[in-house]
């Protein structure tokens, strides 16, 4: 695709298509929304990205808002969906070992069949799609 506008994407010949994928949910708000673009540009003129490794006056406010909204104890901010998936696996294992007292290196995680949550080794190893796991093993 060459460009996007709202719910549509256009190819190099300017043919219009409904964007049913929306970048797998990364742009579910649509393409080039003027209000979102203005806020993004305003922010990027101040700071494009701040790592969680550095203090950021807004990170605590965002964490407080989200934890209160969803009644969570904690929140971990991620840059990508697969990063969130990987972190979820780590949290589940740590909980299993520390709280449930599972013997070290004996924890198991079950995945749904026909899943797709990314292209990392853990994601590929959890897949039953040969295109995802063939020639990428051994898996964690």
* The pLDDT value given to residue 54: 83
* The pLDDT value given to residue 140: 78
Arithmetic mean of pLDDT over the chain: 90
Which structure tokens are listed for 85?
Answer: 């998936």
> What are 63-99's pLDDT values in tens digits?
999 999 999 999 988 877 888 899 999 999 999 999 9
Mean pLDDT of all residues in 3-15: 91
Asked if residue 3 has pLDDT above 80, the reply is yes
Asked if residue 139 has pLDDT above 90, the reply is no
Alpha-helical regions (H) of the chain: 34-44, 57-70, 81-98, 121-125, 130-133
Q: What distance in Å separates the CA atoms of residue 96 and residue 106, rounded to the nearest whole number?
A: 10
Q: What distance in Å separates the CA atoms of residue 49 and residue 4, rounded to the nearest whole number?
A: 24
CB of 11 closer than 8 Å to CB of 17: yes
Q: Where are the domains of the chain?
A: 1-48
Q: What are the C-alpha distances in Å from 6 to residues 9, 20, 40, 43? A: 8, 12, 16, 21
């Amino acid at each position: 695709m060459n460009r996007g506008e709202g719910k549509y994407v256009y190819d190099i010949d300017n043919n219009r298509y409904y964007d049913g994928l929306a970048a797998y949910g990364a742009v579910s708000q649509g393409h080039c929304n003027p209000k979102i673009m203005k806020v993004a540009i305003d922010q990027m003129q101040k700071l494009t990205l701040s790592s969680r490794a550095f203090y950021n006056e807004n990170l605590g406010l965002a964490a407080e808002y989200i934890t209160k909204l969803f009644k969570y104890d904690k929140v971990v901010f991620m840059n990508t969906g697969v990063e969130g998936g990987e972190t979820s696996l780590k949290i589940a294992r740590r909980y299993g070992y520390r709280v449930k007292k599972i013997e070290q290196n004996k924890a198991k995680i079950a995945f749904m069949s026909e899943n797709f949550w990314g292209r990392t080794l853990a994601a590929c190893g959890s897949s039953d799609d040969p295109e995802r796991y063939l020639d990428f093993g051994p898996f964690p």
